[in-house]
Structure 1
Amino acid sequence: MPLTLYYHPLSSFCHKVLTALYENGVEFEKRIVDLTDEADRAELQALWPIGKFPVIHDHAREQDVPESTIIIEYVDQCYPGPHRLVPQEWETALEARLWDRFFDHYVQGPMQRIVADRLFAAHGDLTKERALLTTAYQMLERRMASRIWVASEAFSLADCAAVPALFYASTLVPFPNDYGHLSAYFERLMQRPSVQRVIDEAKPYFQFYPFAEAIPLRFR
């Protein structure tokens, strides 16, 4: 196969890339990386010295591509599927990139700090992180009042970013009961075949998530 994805099935940023790959039926080989294993960690660092996944190795082009957003853009350009995840129209593409950044920085960011706090038993003050998630939910509730997908008429890069961000964040700070638009958007995401496949593959690993008890039973 032309592509090898270095990843872990529990990782939120890997979920983002997997969603994009499955959406367009891109052929790739999977290489699960265990960061606690010295050999695995060294193999990943040989591709991307920062040592974070996901990373894709393109065998045909002899190129290593790190960072979830960049991977999706790269695959969308070099191995395009039935529809583009980065819209071709400039203004719409800018919206997709903006909301991709929104989910990565303002949903995944605080979510991962909360998870890390429990993982390492730091017992820090997470008031700011939870407040940021609440603000992000407010923005999304307004945004989705008149939309199906967050950035364009079609499922895009931004929706790929939304999948893991909202999935994990909602286990930490649940959506308010009266946020019907955000909740409906989340359900549309969860009903995508690509997303269902990602969740199914992650199920055996959910036991290692520090807030595993908060994952809804339908996803376990």
Structure 2
Amino acid sequence: MTLTLHLHPLASFCHKVLIALYENDIAFEASLVDFSNPGSAAAHIERWPVGKIPVLHDSRDNRIVAETSIIIEYLQQHYPGSLPLIPNDSTLQLDTRLWDRFFDLYVSVPMQKIVGDRIRPEGTADPHGVAEAHATLDVAYDMVEGQLHNRPWITGKTFSMADCSALPALFFATIVHPPGDDRPQLGAYLERLLARPSVQRVLREAQPYFKFFPYRDAMPTRYLDPSA
């Protein structure tokens, strides 16, 4: 297999790249990175010293490609499919990159702050930082609500890299910080994302690992048991 994606099925940033791969039916091999296993962790640190996942390895050029947005752009350049996730129009390209970064930085990052604080050692909790994260999510949700007016997808009529970023960000963030009923556009958008076959496949593969999610007690039943 030419492409290998080093990942963990529970990691939200891995979901972003998996959605892009599945949207365009790009063949790849998934390689599990288990940071609780010293050998697996050491192998990944050697592969990418900052230790983040996912990381793509292209054996054709023996090239390591890191960072989710860069991976998706690399796939579009070298393994294009039928759905361009980064549009050709220069203005839409900027919009796509903006909202891609928006979901990563202002939804995923504060969500991870809230989740991570739950599993910090006793006596090291950061209530001020968690409160700031919740406040950031409120601002982000309001911005998404406004952006979605008359748009099925975050930048317009076409599903893009920004929507790949939106799904894992919103999926986990709305568990730890529900958006409420006063943001109907955001709620409807999340449902459209959840209905896409690529997303359903990603979440189906992640479902066995949801038991390890620190906020599992807050997850909707339909996430834990798709037949419910």
How high is the TM-score relative to the length of structure 2? 0.94
Gap runs ≥5 in structure 1: none
Match status 1:148 vs 2:179: no
CA distance in 1, matches of 2:50, 2:201: 28
Deviations 1:164-196 (A, max 9, x none): 000000011101112111100000000000000
Match of 2:177 among 157, 165, 173: 173
Match of 1:74 in 2: 74
Give how far 1:76 is off.
1.1
Q: 1:20·1:157 contact (CA, 8 Å) conserved in 2?
A: yes
Tell me, what secondary structure is at the counterpart of 2:176? coil
Match of 1:127 among 115, 119, 131: 131
CA distance in 2, matches of 1:80, 1:119: 40
Amino acid across the alignment from 2:27: E
How many residues align? The count is 220
Give how far 1:208 is off.
0.3
Return 11-20 or 151-160, whichever deviates more: 151-160
Tell me, what secondary structure is at the counterpart of 1:159? helix
Tell me, what secondary structure is at the counterpart of 2:30? strand
Gap runs ≥5 in structure 2: none
CA distance in 1, matches of 2:155, 2:39: 40
CA distance in 2, matches of 1:24, 1:217: 30
CA distance in 2, matches of 1:7, 1:14: 6
Match status 1:28 vs 2:28: yes
How high is the TM-score relative to the length of structure 1? 0.98
Match of 1:61 in 2: 61
Give how far 1:152 is off.
3.4
Q: 1:95·1:152 contact (CA, 8 Å) conserved in 2?
A: no
Match of 1:217 in 2: 221
CA distance in 1, matches of 2:119, 2:28: 31
Amino acid across the alignment from 1:45: I
CA distance in 1, matches of 2:139, 2:148: 14
Deviations 1:77-99 (A, max 9, x none): 11011111011111101100000
Match of 1:205 in 2: 209
Match of 1:163 in 2: 167
CA distance in 2, matches of 1:30, 1:197: 14
Match status 1:111 vs 2:132: no
CA distance in 1, matches of 2:218, 2:68: 26
Tell me, what secondary structure is at the counterpart of 1:30? strand
Q: Detail structure 1 runs of 4+ shifted over 3 Å in the superposition.
A: none
Amino acid across the alignment from 1:155: F
Deviations 1:135-189 (A, max 9, x none): 1011111111210110232100000000100000001110111211110000000
Identity %: 49
CA distance in 2, matches of 1:171, 1:40: 30
